[in-house]
């Protein structure tokens, strides 16, 4: 265990969120904390300094984690930071986790602590599968890791808890689909913060994946009924033998006072049966609140009004980000994937697009047949050692409004288990109402088609 007098340098990513704020308020004074957030913030605490970090940028992530001993990762599904986002949030989470892991390696971070989600034994949702992929990224980093898996975190300001409270408060009656019988577990925010603090530089927690639970077996109907009882609400509840989530997502977003994008993956995850085991011997002494009813009573005693979620602001207000997943092909590297894309694109578009690579400068130009000026000009950037990606800065062309920002990259993640292609911080010259329905659609179709090409190419899937 670490020396209690040691001045640990701790970076907390997602520090402005629900769990992050609670961890900051309870962190030991001996920690020197860098609180990382998408927006600007000022600290009123002596040992906390706020830094703005864009996790989609490897350089920004690396700069933010300088002089860090322990990195605590509390980011799950990030909302868009650009004006137009194409792709799934699972792919976005994979990309930013990979940036974070590489930044930790480069800065000599001694431990990564990640808060993920409880994993069902079968029928895993896309939301929970994404969290498991993030776990794999951190495990592949080679840095000692501690992964906590939690279900609903009960506490004032927690998204899942506030949605539940809003539903009970605002509805005189509720329909209970079959998914409300799915098993789950809840942990109180104070207990979770205690676990996160205890794991810091504690070798008993190194390279472990731990279910952060209190051992109380619950289903979602019991959560609703307990909340009604503690709030003194006589809500009429109707069980129905259907399991569709479409209507549930709609009424949860409306009456739970949250956006549909947040409610949708949460509801999909409610179809999963989560583990019912008690807390492990390692964490059991730190779990103080053993009943959901007790959690509710504590929360209601906290003074102040109900916490409202602040609207997320865009970091890059006039840019495009597009992320697509490609087939995993461990037998080739990112440079080979990029070269294959350059050869494939003219064939896929029937020769309308020409791709030329300059042997001396390395510039790659994409031109429309018949036009003298190129559509895009890309400049390859030398990757750092042990960084499996091929990166190209967008430095000109008819389609680009700026030549000083934006890049295309191919990246392999978690020892080449996953492959991503992304465009980041690209500023199109077309007006937005035209770009969205022309170039954006064409780009997404192109990358989807390229993924299908890689999947069907026999030479990449030959078993030796």
In this prediction, residue 252 carries a pLDDT of 67
Instruction: Tell if the pTM clears 0.85, that is, is over it.
Output: yes
SS3 call for 151: coil
CA dist 78 and 80 (Å) reads: 6
Cα distances from 52 to residues 64, 134, 251, 381, in angstroms, run 8, 22, 35, 25
If you average pLDDT over residues 276-289, what whole number do you get? 94
- Single out the residue of 228, 195, 191, 231 nearest to residue 210, CA to CA: 195
How far is Cα 346 from Cα 374, in angstroms, rounded to an integer?
14
pLDDT tops 50 at residue 5 = no
Query: Encoding tokens for residue 90?
Result: 């699972």
256 pLDDT above the threshold of 70: no
7-19: per-residue pLDDT in tens?
Answer: 899 999 999 889 9
The pLDDT of 289-317, averaged and rounded, is 73
428 CB-near residues (< 8 Å, 6+ apart): 320, 399, 400, 401, 435, 439
CA dihedral 429, 435, 436, 439 (to 10 degrees): -110
**Residue 49 confidence (pLDDT) above 60:** yes
Q: What is the pLDDT of residue 260?
A: 59
Tell me: pLDDT of 460 over 60. yes
Read off the pLDDT of residues 93-128 as tens digits, 9 standing for 90 and up. 999 999 999 999 999 999 999 999 999 877 788 888
Q: Mean pLDDT throughout 133-146?
A: 96
Structural domains of the chain, with CATH: 9-300 (3.40.50.720), 316-460 (3.30.530.20)
Q: What is the mean pLDDT of the chain?
A: 87
CA–CA separation, 432 and 438 (whole Å): 10
């Amino acid at each position: 265990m670490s020396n209690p007098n040691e001045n640990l340098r701790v970076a907390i990513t997602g520090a402005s969120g629900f769990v992050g704020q609670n961890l900051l308020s309870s962190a030991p004074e001996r920690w020197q904390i860098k609180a990382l957030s998408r927006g600007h913030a000022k600290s009123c605490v002596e040992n906390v300094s706020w830094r703005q970090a864009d996790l989609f940028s490897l350089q920004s992530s690396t700069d933010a984690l300088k002089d860090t001993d322990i990195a605590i990762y509390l980011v799950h599904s990030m909302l868009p930071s650009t004006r137009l986002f194409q792709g799934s949030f699972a792919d976005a989470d994979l990309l930013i986790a990979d940036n974070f892991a590489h930044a930790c390696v480069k800065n000599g971070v001694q431990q990564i602590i990640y808060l993920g989600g409880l994993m069902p034994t079968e029928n895993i949702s896309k939301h929970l599968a994404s969290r498991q992929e993030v776990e794999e990224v951190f495990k592949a980093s080679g840095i000692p890791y501690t992964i906590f898996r939690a279900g609903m975190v009960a506490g004032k300001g927690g998204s899942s808890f506030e949605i539940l409270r809003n539903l009970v408060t605002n509805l005189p009656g509720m329909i209970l689909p079959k998914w409300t019988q799915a098993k789950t577990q809840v942990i109180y925010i104070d207990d979770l913060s205690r676990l996160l603090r205890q794991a810091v530089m504690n070798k008993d927690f190194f390279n472990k994946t731990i279910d952060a639970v209190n051992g109380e077996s619950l289903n979602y109907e019991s959560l609703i009924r307990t909340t009604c009882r503690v709030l003194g609400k006589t809500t009429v509840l109707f069980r129905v033998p259907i399991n569709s989530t479409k209507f549930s997502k709609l009424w949860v977003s409306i009456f739970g006072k949250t956006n549909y994008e947040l409610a949708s993956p949460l509801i999909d995850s409610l179809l999963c049966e989560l583990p019912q085991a008690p807390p492990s011997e390692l964490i059991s002494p730190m779990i103080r609140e053993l009943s959901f009813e007790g959690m509710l009573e504590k929360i209601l005693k906290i003074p102040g009004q109900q916490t409202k979620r602040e609207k997320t602001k865009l970091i890059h207000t006039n840019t495009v980000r597009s992320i697509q997943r490609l087939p995993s092909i461990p037998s080739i590297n990112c440079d080979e994937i990029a070269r294959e894309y350059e050869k494939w694109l003219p064939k896929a578009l029937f020769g309308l697009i020409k791709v030329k690579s300059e042997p001396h400068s390395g510039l790659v130009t994409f031109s429309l047949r018949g036009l003298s000026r190129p559509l895009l000009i890309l400049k390859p950037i030398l990757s750092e050692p042990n960084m499996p990606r091929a990166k190209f800065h967008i430095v000109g062309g008819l389609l680009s409004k700026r030549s000083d920002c934006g890049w295309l990259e191919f990246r392999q993640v978690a020892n080449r288990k996953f492959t991503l292609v992304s465009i980041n911080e690209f500023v199109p010259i077309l007006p937005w109402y035209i770009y969205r329905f022309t170039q954006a659609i064409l780009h997404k179709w192109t990358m989807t088609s390229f993924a299908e090409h890689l999947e069907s190419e026999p030479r990449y899937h030959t078993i030796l």
